[in-house]
Amino acid sequence: MAVAARSLGLLLPPSEGKASGGDGPSWSPDLGHFSALAVRRAQLVRALDAAGGGDERLLGVGGQHLIDARLANSFLTDNPCLPAWRRYTGVVWGALDPASLPAGVKRRAMSSVVVISGLLGLAALDDPIPEYRLKMGASLAPFGRLSTWWRPAIGEALTVWAGRRFVVDLLPNEHRAACSTARLRGVSVTFVERAGKVAGHDAKSAKGRLARHLLTSGGHPLDALESWVDARFDLVVTPIGR
Is 235:199 a contact under the CB 8 Å cutoff? no
pTM of the predicted model, to two decimals? 0.94
221 phi-psi bin (left φ>0, alpha ψ -120 to 50, beta other): alpha
**Distance, CA of 104 to CA of 94 (rounded, Å):** 20
Is residue 2 included in any domain, yes or no?
Answer: no
Range of the domain at 74: 8-240
Is residue 3 included in any domain, yes or no?
Answer: no
Is residue 110 included in any domain, yes or no?
Answer: yes
Is residue 1 included in any domain, yes or no?
Answer: no
**Distance, CA of 109 to CA of 148 (rounded, Å):** 28
The count of structural domains within the chain is 1
Is residue 159 included in any domain, yes or no?
Answer: yes
**Distance, CA of 35 to CA of 29 (rounded, Å):** 7
Is residue 166 included in any domain, yes or no?
Answer: yes
Neighbours of 13 (CB within 10 A): 23
Q: Is 88 exposed, middle or buried (0-12, 13-18, 19+ CB in 10 A)?
A: buried
Task: Please report, in tens digits, the pLDDT of each residue of the chain (242 residues total).
Answer: 333 446 999 999 999 989 999 998 899 999 999 999 999 999 999 999 999 999 999 999 999 999 999 999 999 999 899 999 999 999 999 999 999 999 999 999 999 999 999 999 999 999 999 999 999 999 999 999 999 999 999 999 999 999 999 999 999 999 999 999 999 999 999 999 877 677 677 889 999 999 999 999 988 999 999 999 998 899 999 999 85
Which amino acid type is present at position 82?
Answer: L
